[in-house]
Amino acid sequence: MATSRFSAPSTRAESLSHCSSISRCLDFSSRNRSSSLVLTRTRRLRRVKLSSSVRNVSSEPTQKIQDPITDEGVPGDLSSFTPDAASIASSIKYHAEFTPLFSPERFELPKAFFATAQSVRDALIINWNATYDFYEKMNAKQAYYLSMEFLQGRALLNAIGNLELTGAYGEALSKLGHNLETVAWQEPDAALGNGGLGRLASCFLDSLATLNYPAWGYGLRYKYGLFKQRITKDGQEEVAENWLEMGNPWEIARNDVSYPVKFYGKVVMGSDGKRHWIGGEDIEASAYDVPIPGYKTRTTINLRLWSTKVPSKDFDLYAFNDGEHTKACEAQVNAEKICYILYPGDESVEGKILRLKQQYTLCSASLQDIIARFERRSGGHVEWEEFPEKVAVQMNDTHPTLCIPELMRIFIDLKGMSWKEAWNITQRTVAYTNHTVLPEALEKWSLELMQKLLPRHVEIIEMIDDELIHNIVSKFGTSDLHLLEKKLNAMRILENCDLPASVGDVFVKAKETPVVDPSKDLEVTHEVEPADEDDEVEVEDNEVEVEDDDVEVEEMPKKKKLDPEPVPIPPKMVRMANLCVVGGHAVNGVAEIHSEIVKQEVFNDFYQLWPGKFQNKTNGVTPRRWIRFCNPDLSNILTKWTGAEDWVLSTQKLAELRKFADNEDLQIEWRAAKRSNKLKVVTYLKQKTGYSVSPDAMFDVQVKRIHEYKRQLLNILGIVYRYKKMKEMDAGERIAKFVPRVCIFGGKAFATYVQAKRIVKLITDVGATINHDPEIGDLLKVVFVPDYNVSVAELLIPASELSQHISTAGMEASGTSNMKFAMNGCILIGTLDGANVEIRQEVGEDNFFLFGAQAHEIAGLRKERAEGKFVPDSCFEEAKEFVRSGAFGSYNYDELMKSLEGIEGFGRADYFLVGKDFPSYIECQEMVDEAYRDQRRWTKMSILNTAGSYKFSSDRTIHEYARDIWNIEPVELP
Of the residues 228, 617, 704, 707, which is catalytic? 704
Give me the amino acid identity at 474.
Answer: S
Of the residues 18, 41, 705, 761, which is catalytic? 705
Beta pairing partners, 445: 574
Task: Examine the residue annotation and report whether 820 is marked as an active-site residue of this protein.
Answer: yes
Tell me how far the alpha carbon of residue 902 is from its chain's centroid.
34
Q: Please tell me whether residue 637 adopts helix, strand or coil conformation.
A: helix
Phi, psi of 239 (to 5 degrees): -130, 160
Of the residues 24, 435, 625, 748, which is catalytic? 435
| Distances from the Cα of 690 to the Cα of 9, 182, 702, angstroms | 45, 21, 19
**CB of 952 within 8 A of CB of 835?**
yes
Residues present in the chain in total: 974
Sorted by sequence, the CB contacts under 8 Å of residue 260 that are 6+ apart come out as 282, 283, 284, 285
3-state helix/strand/coil string of 302-322: EEEEEEEECCHHHCCHHHHHC
3-state helix/strand/coil string of 675-740: HHHHHHHHHHHHHHHCCCCCCCCEEEEEECCCCHHHCHHHHHHHHHHHHHHHHCCCHHHHHHHCCC
**CB of 889 within 8 A of CB of 768?**
yes
Of the residues 617, 758, 820, 862, which is catalytic? 820
Task: Examine the residue annotation and report whether 710 is marked as an active-site residue of this protein.
Answer: yes
Phi, psi of 160 (to 5 degrees): -70, -25
Give me the DSSP letters along 891-909. Answer: ---HHHHHTTSSSSSTT-T
Give me the amino acid identity at 59.
Answer: S
Of the residues 70, 131, 808, 816, which is catalytic? 816
Task: Examine the residue annotation and report whether 680 is marked as an active-site residue of this protein.
Answer: no
**CB of 225 within 8 A of CB of 342?**
yes
**CB of 124 within 8 A of CB of 765?**
no
**CB of 834 within 8 A of CB of 594?**
yes
CA distance 598 to 580: 13
| Distances from the Cα of 918 to the Cα of 79, 399, 621, 728, 913, angstroms | 65, 35, 31, 20, 8
Task: Examine the residue annotation and report whether 704 is marked as an active-site residue of this protein.
Answer: yes
Question: How is the beta sheet containing 827-830 ordered, strand by strand?
Answer: 780-785, 741-746, 698-703, 802-805, 827-830, 849-850
Task: Examine the residue annotation and report whether 940 is marked as an active-site residue of this protein.
Answer: no
Of the residues 575, 710, 734, 748, which is catalytic? 710
Task: Examine the residue annotation and report whether 435 is marked as an active-site residue of this protein.
Answer: yes
**CB of 69 within 8 A of CB of 8?**
yes
Name the residues annotated as catalytic.
435, 704-705, 710, 816, 820
